[in-house]
């Protein structure tokens, strides 16, 4: 089974953790990978999640690499549209690769719910 990648900007991390808790049954059945800080928060809630570097330190690029290797089946990335992010080029690369490889991508809870309800 392919990974579901979980990423959230700082202002959205709590919202992503709440989302994962809401869909605990789904996330307990699929392998997950997350950027470091997001993954650490999920681990604190008892979730088994593989972590990569934080986003600004290359974590988005690491997940993008997993996409190109065929290891990721969906990406849930709660983005903060109002903030500036020094690693924006990595974020854009990740989003572009989701399109190139036809990977479901959710950047908000409504779309993430579609992924959590429909990927098996």
Known catalytic residues are: 60
Report which secondary-structure segment, H or E, holds 64: helix 59-68
When computed from its CA atoms, the radius of gyration of the chain, rounded to whole angstroms, is 13
Would you call 68 exposed, middle or buried from its count of C-beta atoms within 10 A (0-12, 13-18, 19+)?
exposed
């Amino acid at each position: 089974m392919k990974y579901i990648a979980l990423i959230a900007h700082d202002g959205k991390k709590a919202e992503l953790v709440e989302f994962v808790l809401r869909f605990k049954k789904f996330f307990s059945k699929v392998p997950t990978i997350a950027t470091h800080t997001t993954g650490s928060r999920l681990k604190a809630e008892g979730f088994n999640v593989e972590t990569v570097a934080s986003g600004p330190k290359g974590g988005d690029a690491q997940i993008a690499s997993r996409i190109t290797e065929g290891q990721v089946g969906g990406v849930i990335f709660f983005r903060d549209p109002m903030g500036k992010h020094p690693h924006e080029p990595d974020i854009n690369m990740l989003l572009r690769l989701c399109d190139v490889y036809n990977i479901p991508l959710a950047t908000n809870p409504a779309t993430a719910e579609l992924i959590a309800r429909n990927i098996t």
